[in-house]
Structure 1
């Protein structure tokens, strides 16, 4: 897809009305989503909000399952925010950060698998309503593992079954898909992953999208150390997004873990190569961030050490997109890591 002409395009530029597929309104899907709305906490619900972002930014993200995985409530909520932003001529349309983040992870997963030159494992930690196993052709030689709470995986499996039964052309793109019911905040998730068929010695891409900042500092560090340890066994790639400290103040009751300098943190854990991007960087805009005056571009032009925006006095809330890698035959060079 050519993203060069998107500018700061918003979803549904030619359609102000939200059109939802019939499947969203079926009895089965409505009953499943009544549990989501009434019983899930904010962490679990964030999975549906992410799916809604992918669904409503369909002009840049091809995810035919996103509508049903998001559910009517979250689709309508985000659609109303998008309409309000467009009415107010906002420079940052709601959901754009989810769109860029999704496209960044898609592109880096594909690049990592290409670098392996063959079959690999892809582990989605806190997979939520991610449908990559059904939409990314680059996974055709990969075994995909989705790790999440049992109730999330149960609802997701039921929604996917309903979608697959109603639409003929949907199919699994990955070589295999294994769902692993586990809480990555606990100590036993790696054991459960291995029991499910994960092979520690096999090349692996680890994906932590939209999840690590929900963990406590000790929980997040434990997860990162477990992944980093695999660099001593095999080619290992970590893809993750990190909030800086200022970003966690967006909702102190929800976000906990942060890192202002993940490109320093990850080498200290054992990764040999780390590259950090911010929303709007050359590999993280996808034609959606050309306006030099949008929030993300203004932040990119400020040194990362600055905590308060000198233009308006607001905290510099940043989201870092980070790829880290390592293997048994690589050594860490801290001198190459920006300080």
Structure 2
């Protein structure tokens, strides 16, 4: 039996990307081609995330991910994965997306189950090509709201409508949520909450806010404004926040893209008004999912160091950390 690495034996071939026949239609190909010329890195990150979910399909069930990602990003990531496997890399490309996706899936289901009637509003900020409303059965009593740039949601809607109309793809196009509403808005602007409410969001209903892969693209003032708006919801109803935070060293990975950071989000969120905060790092027991077996991989090595350590003592490289944070609050618990 060969050693397991990232969920697959080393001698087991990585599943190749499979584009459905529908992708080769002029409409879908044209949409993906236009993004490469017209979209900035923030918008394109939605396609990169979808590609990660598609290529890690042995652990993530997301039949729509490949269609939403498109050929360019699927091929690029697949080539990186093949290279990593050939070189026996300790961390295979895309593993962060895989672990992060599974962590958010697991915590979202737990949050939904924590409500008495298992009914809640779920708001996906910077939803991109997220297909949770089509693949998570735990959302069957929940109203899902997806917020993103108009052009991102328009592309997504066009692709999903094409899938719905395709006999071969229709089986994947089943909305598992009670409802799904798309809200065209830029969360960096001050009007996104109003647009959300116009779409049917009710502030007094139990709400789970999902901020996956979005906060660090914002400026400090923008991110804090978003977090404060969500915190205000705690004064009205039972609120759960699921978010990932970069530490300061992580922003050096792309100074042009990454701006907001928090070295101690488990202290930041209580200071804003959340009463119950739990923090994990990739590699922790609830953020592992059997994908990080090598004890010398980057994430396991970081877990052995104090969070205040800025550079790794072995090689002097920045200690880049991604924090996965679950926070909750309610009117009876928020600070006065």
Whether contact under 8 Å (2:15, 2:55) holds in the other structure is no
Q: Which residue number in structure 2 is paired with residue 128 of structure 1?
A: 128
2:288 corresponding residue in structure 1: 285
Matches within 5 A, 1:192-203: 192-203=195-206
| 1:265 is aligned to 2:283 | no
The answer to whether 1:224 aligns with 2:227 is yes
Summarize deviations over 1:132-170 as a string: whole Å, max 9, x none: 000000000000000000000000000111122222322
**Secondary structure at 1:146 match in 2:** strand
TM norm structure 2: 0.95
Structure 1 Cα separation of the partners of residues 54 and 203 of structure 2: 34
**Structure 1 pair 10–128 and aligned structure 2 pair: CA distance change class (3 A):** farther
For residue 274 of structure 2, give the secondary structure of its aligned residue in structure 1.
coil
Report the TM-score when normalising by structure 1. 0.94
User: Deviation at 1:332?
Assistant: 5.4
Distance 1:10 1:268 in 2: 42
Aligned residue number for residue 319 of structure 2? 316
Q: Is residue 235–residue 334 contact of structure 2 (8 Å, CA) maintained in 1?
A: no
What do residues 202-244 of structure 1 show as CA deviations (whole Å, max 9, x unaligned)? 0000000000000000000000000011111100000000000
Q: What residue in structure 2 maps to residue 77 of structure 1?
A: 76
CA distance in 1, matches of 2:277, 2:4: 29
SS at match of 1:324: strand
How many residue pairs match? The answer is 329
CA contact (8 A) 1:6 1:287 kept: no
Q: What whole-Å deviation, never above 9, does each CA across 1:104-137 have from its counterpart, x for those lacking one? A: 0000000000001221100000000000000000
The match for 1:337 is none
Matched residue, 2:330: 327
Q: Once the 2 structures are TM-superposed, how far is the Cα of residue 34 of structure 1 from its aligned partner?
A: 1.4
1:92 match: secondary structure: coil
Following TM superposition, by how much is the alpha carbon of 1:6 offset from its aligned partner in structure 2, in angstroms?
A: 5.7
Please state whether the residue corresponding to 1:145 is helix, strand or coil: strand
Name 1:142's counterpart in structure 2.
142
Find the aligned partners of 2:304 and 2:100 in 1 and give their Cα distance.
Answer: 19
Q: How do 1:113-262 residues align onto structure 2 when only pairs under 5 Å count? A: 113-118=112-117, 119-166=119-166, 167-170=169-172, 171-262=174-265
Q: Which runs of 5+ in 2 are unaligned?
A: none
The 1:200/1:331 distance shift into structure 2, 3 A limit, reads closer
Offset, 1:16: 6.8
User: Helix, strand or coil: the match of 2:266?
Assistant: helix
Secondary structure of 1:169's partner? helix
SS in 2 for 1:232: coil
Separation in 1, partners of 2:84, 2:24: 27
Alpha carbons 2:18, 2:66 under 8 Å: kept = no
CA distance in structure 2 between the partners assigned to 1:65 and 1:282 by the alignment: 29
Partner of 1:336: none
Match of 1:8 in 2: 6
For 2:63 and 2:56, the matched residues in 1 are separated by 11
- Deviation per residue, 1:42-93 (Å, 9 max, x gap): 0000000000000000000000000010001010110111111111110000
Report if aligned partners of 1:11, 1:56 keep a CA contact under 8 Å in 2: no
Name 1:22's counterpart in structure 2: 21
- SS of equivalent residue, structure 2 residue 317: coil
**Cα separation, partners in 2 of 1:160 and 1:330, compared to 1, 3 Å:** same
Higher mean C-alpha deviation, range 251-260 or range 13-22: 13-22
- Shift of the alpha carbon at 1:14? 2.1
Matched residue SS, 2:234:
helix
Superposition CA RMSD, Å? 1.6
Give the 3-state SS of the residue equivalent to 1:289 in structure 2: coil
**Distance apart, 1:260 and its partner CA:** 0.2
